[in-house]
Every structure is written in structure tokens, then in C-alpha cells.
Chain A
């Protein structure tokens, strides 16, 4: 075993796009209306996928980006704006089955890939 393994980032496999990954604009998933392929064609790994949110479901919450503070503010139930990171009222922040999931609420944490959607990057 080597104490200092050889550097691994000099890799010729990847294009500049892979080496500077960018997710879908604003993290919004790209809609796809195509359905599953027939058994035998569909990858085995997708046999038992679990359905999540529909992409045509409008979000039940709104946010505003504050350029002064450089943080997101959400519209609270009484109409006031509060920092998203301190907003813990149930029902106002997005629930698990919506298309955006924050990384902050222990009762509503993210599947990794929701916050890391670069599988869609080009």
C-alpha cells in the first residue's frame, strides 16, 4: 500500500463538460413524457423504481433570492419573507415528494441525487 497514491486527476477519459459539470438550469428536472421500455430492453436496474413527484405539479411554495444577503427567502404563511434556512414551519417548505428538496431539514432531508442532479448535465 502506498502512503501517497498517484494523482488520479490526469485522466484522458472525460470531455471538458465532464470536468466542469453543470446541472439543469435552476435545478429543475427536464420533463420526459416517454414511458418505460418493454421488459428485456429496460435495464434490469430500473425494474423496481419507486415513483416520485409529477413534474407538472405546481410547487406549493415560492422563494425570492435576496441579492443583498445572497440567500434565499421564502414566503411564509402570513406573507412575510423569511430565510429559507431558518424556515421550519411544516407545510411551507417543500415536502419530500416535490421536485426540489432542501438539504437542511432533518425531518425532510434530501436524497443525495436531488441535490446533485448533474446526471442531467450535458
Chain B
């Protein structure tokens, strides 16, 4: 039985996992969907037992029925042939996406780490709502495009805000990457909120943090690292100054672990990278969970056996971690 890895060619965490699985004698088929259709083919047929067929590159192939688990880690978009019109390109891309997603997601008894749709399921505002239901502490939060909504929120708190993005922090302008880190917003700044109306904005109180934590959850296993910020910039957003950070292994309190597992089940996750703020009173406040988050640098810094745990999960295809499939049958419009 084979582990299918859908990932970019250059990703050291994937390299490490592939070598770990190889060392265990577990067959691996790694590809990036950018290889389709030039160097990747799918030939699948629906039979009495479901979809079966072959996924192949010029270097190797795997029968769909041999796939035991899938690691879905940021695969790239298809690279379609030159010469297609815009309309043809859109059509070809949509057909390819529907075909891959439909066939692969139909494979039975396959563990996904994680199902691709978990990304769009786990939107940040929804995460906070679900986390609270799961017993995790979360910050007060507001999503608004009205200046008065921001000011009212700040008045109710009486303290500075943290301004955060709801999606990615990167954009490209004038040929240059721009990074929108979390920002501390003083109450005096709220006089000028120009641009708030342009789109929805996300604010929380600026929490007093003793330290922060990144918690990687692999199946039932929990790996937690304290992140100690060593600069003013890192105390606002640790991603802005990695050089100042120190790490240590920590154990989350049991109620937090319980809440994490409830959250994982609620979203059908088998892997999650959680961020917590830990207050001076040692309260763990969940900020977000990235179902496809990074962990490699912490694994190296602290010798956390995250790759080994992932390999265990993928090798065994733990049924317990697989989300319950929807019980309703979609209505066909055909």
C-alpha cells in the first residue's frame, strides 16, 4: 500500500517525510500537480468497487486501489500546454481539477492529511466560533467594515487592538512582496480609519502575552512548543523577527488538549498547527489553527518527532482520524 504525496518539488518537510517512509519500506508516490498534463497522467475507471486506475509519471506509477493515505501539502496548479486560449485554459483547468478532486476524494479507506477542503472549511472567524464551542478560550473578536464598529469594539475593551488579516499576509505590489503582519493599534489611531470601508477587517484585543505556543497535532499526538519573543516586533507578531525567538517544549494543560481534539474532530482534521497566546496567568488562548501549517523549523529546533508521527499516521492510515463522510447524497442536476 502506497502513500500518495501531493506537494511541490521543493519542500524540505516533505523530503524528510519521504525519506522517513522510505526507511520504513513504505512505498511513496510523490508528485506535484504542476506536472499535469505534461508529465503526469491519470487514467481512472469506475467499477463495482469504486474508482480504480493508474496515476503515472515518466518515473513511476501507482494504482489508485493501492493508495492507503494522502498527504496533501500545497500542491501547485496544473501547468497546461502553451497555445490554449483563455477560455480553453479555464475549461481545461476546471476539468482537471474536478477530475482529480472527484476521483481521489472518492477513494475509500484512504486517510487524507488533510482533506483539501479543510482549508476552506476552517476560515478564521469560523475557527474561533467552533473553538469556543469546543471549550477553548479565544479572544474577543470583531469583523467589520465600519469605523464605528471598530471604535465601539475598542471602547468596550478600553485597550489597544490587534489588527490582523483574515487570510494570507502576503501580497505583491510594484514587483515586490509586501507582508501584512499583525499590528498593535493604539486607541489614538482610531481617529483615522480610512480604508476600513474598503473590505472586512479583523480586530481582537492586543493580548498581554507571557509567551506564545505553536502546537502541532498529528492524529491524537500533540507536540507543543513555547515561542519566546526577544524583540518588540516579535512580541507583536513573532513571524516578523525569527532571529529573536527562543523555543522550548511545553505541555499544554489537559483542558486545552481536550479542546484541541474536539476542534480537530469538528473540522475533520488529522493534522493541525495551532497558535496560542499564553497570558501571564498561564491561560492558553487559541488564536488560530492552520490545517496545512508549517512545523519543520520547530522540529529541528527542538527535536520534536513530528515527521515520525506523520509517517506513523500515513503508514497506518488511521481510520480513527478520518472524518466521517457526509451522510446525505448530493442531488444531481443532470
Contacts and interface: CB of A to CB of B under 8 A. Distances in A.
A121 B34 CA distance: 13
Contact of B168 (A27, A69, A103, A116): A116
B328 A10 contact: yes
A90 B248 CA distance: 24
- Of all A-B residue pairs in the complex, the 7 with the closest CB atoms, nearest first, are A109-B297, A52-B177, A119-B168, A103-B296, A104-B12, A20-B101, A106-B301
Contact of B195 (A34, A41, A68): A41
Contacts, number: 278
Interface of B: 5, 8-16, 18-19, 22, 28, 30, 32-34, 57-60, 74-79, 93-94, 97-98, 100-101, 115-121, 126, 130, 133-135, 163-165, 167-181, 183, 193-196, 198-199, 201-202, 239-240, 242-243, 247, 262, 265-268, 273, 290, 292-298, 300-301, 323-324, 326, 328
Contacts of B10: 26-27, 63, 65, 72, 84, 100, 102
7 contacts: A1-B134, A9-B117, A32-B171, A50-B180, A83-B19, A85-B15, A117-B74
B93 A84 contact: no
Q: With a 10 A CB-CB cut-off, give which of A25, A42, A52 has the most chain B CB atoms.
A: A25
B34 A25 contact: yes
A89 interface: no
A54 B175 contact: yes
Nearest to B239: A111
Nearest to B273: A112
A83 B322 CA distance: 32
Nearest to A27: B8
Contacts of B133: 1-2, 5
Interface of B is mostly: mixed
A111 B169 contact: yes
A63 B74 CA distance: 19
B317 to A, nearest CB: 19
Given A116-B292, A121-B77, A7 B9 contact: no
B51 to A, nearest CB: 16
B116 A21 contact: yes
A47 B119 contact: no
Nearest to B297: A109
Interface of A: 1-11, 13-14, 16-27, 29-36, 39-56, 63, 65, 67-72, 83-85, 96, 99-100, 102-119, 121-122
Q: With a 10 A CB-CB cut-off, give which of B15, B115, B301 has the most chain A CB atoms.
A: B15
A116 B76 contact: no
B15 A115 contact: no
A103 B295 contact: yes
A102 B13 CA distance: 8
A51 B176 CA distance: 7
Nearest to A10: B326
Contacts of B174: 32-36
Contacts of A53: 176-177
A114 to B, nearest CB: 7
B11 A103 contact: yes
